[in-house]
Amino acid sequence: MSPRKPVRVPLGSRLGDFVRGPVPLILWLLSGYGVYRLLEMRHGLTMLSGIAQGDEARVTALRPGKLHQITVRLHDEVRPGDVVAILDGTLLQARLETMHSRVAEIEAELLSEQERIERENALATVRTAEDFTQGMRRFLAEETDLALQVLEIKVDLESDRLQEQRVAAELARASRLAAEEVGVVADAEDLDLEHQQVLRRIEEREALLVRAELESDSAGHRRKNYEQSSPSPLAQAPLLLKALKARIDVERALLAEVSVEQTELLLRAPLEGRVQSLLALEGECVLEGTVVATITKIRADRVVAYLPEFKDPSCIEPLEDVAVAQSFLQGQSGSGRVESLSPGLVEIPSRLWTQPNRPEYGRAVWISFDKSLALLAGERVEVFFQN
């Protein structure tokens, strides 16, 4: 009889025997080592959950009034100085119109006084103290007239600036809506044309104002030089012209007040961020200090972690170095430092509760972190303390 040949075992059967034999053992060993490492880390580290936070600013009304327009939408990104809302400027415009009327009244009185001076001057033949007074009237009337022209230009200029602010805010909103294909492009183009026209008118009035102020200053110098050549120290300027000049000074002060109030009609963003909430509606009347919107920075600049109430607060020390982890799976982490620990208990945000329906309390731990770890405001993070 010939010897038997060994039976060849198929490769699939041998692989199956290997999977059923050493592989489970290797997996169990790796799992045991992993559990050991986790227990070791838990024993050596304290892990707290927290939320990344950014600075928050409130946009408040600087004066009482009616909310004419809100130029942003919820969650829009804004930059410092961007217009968030506009208060109604109808009352301010009415005050400017009233100033126009008062300036016209002063101008009529000044014209009447100038005509009287011309009539009296035509009868004067000798340069006496009375003649000097007539001349003084002429110089003072010229100075008052030019001062009145300067005031009238300033009133018109403030009215144009008020219109420019309103049109610029409406243009920004219309342009954004047109870019998002929500608004009509033609509306944005019409507003842009109106804005350019107002800007040109402001530029022309500013140039005219410079010339008028120079002429007014020159008239003032001429009047002073003439006054110094008085033949009698008792010679004084007519009381009526002095009264008109005083009224012009009052109108100037009122105009400066209107200029300040005009800037308060535009509510601007104080920082770069995102509109977190809108707390008022268009057409609503607001008081001074009313919060119209809140703006939160997009990038976080601190982390607030929470130490559970049952843990000893002495385990955390100020200026202690910590590790801030964005996510275990992504492996993004950075260094941080404890800034402060709240002395009392606060309610932990509900998103950090272990049980959704049971409120939890703890101490807030404020932590600064390395800015290379780009955290977004509102993002959940984990903080590790060395025991």
The DSSP bridge partners found for residue 50 are: 305, 381
| Domain locations along the chain | 45-55+297-386, 89-264
Q: Under DSSP, is residue 234 helix (H, G, I), strand (E, B) or coil?
A: coil
> 20 falls in which pLDDT band (50, 70, 90)?
low
How many CB atoms neighbour CB 308 within 10 A?
Answer: 14
pLDDT at site 3: 55
Average pLDDT over residues 269-291: 89
In order of 65, 182, 213, 269, the CA distances from 250 in angstroms are 25, 48, 17, 34
Where is pLDDT greater, at 279 or 118? 279
- Residue 348 CB partners (closer than 8 Å, separation 6+): 306, 359, 360, 361, 362
Average pLDDT over residues 196-211: 85
Q: Under DSSP, is residue 1 helix (H, G, I), strand (E, B) or coil?
A: coil
Tell me the DSSP string of 105-171. HHHHHHHHHHHHHHHHHHH--S-SHHHHHHHHHHHHHHHHHHHHHHHHHHHHHHHHHHHHHHHHHHH
pLDDT at site 293: 92
pLDDT at site 254: 74
Q: Is the pLDDT of residue 9 over 60?
A: no
**For residue 44, how far is the Cα from the chain centroid?**
46
Superfamily for domain range 45-55+297-386: Efflux pump adaptor protein, beta barrel domain (2.40.30.170)
Lookup: tokens for 113: 């006084």
Least confident window among 54-63, 110-119, 298-307, 314-323: 110-119
Residue 323: which of 337, 302, 311, 342 has the closest Cα?
A: 337
Average pLDDT over residues 96-123: 70
Q: Tens digits of per-residue pLDDT, 124-133?
A: 544 455 566 6
Least confident window among 80-89, 103-112, 158-167, 200-209: 103-112
Where is pLDDT greater, at 129 or 143? 143
> 366 falls in which pLDDT band (50, 70, 90)?
very high
Average pLDDT, the chain: 77
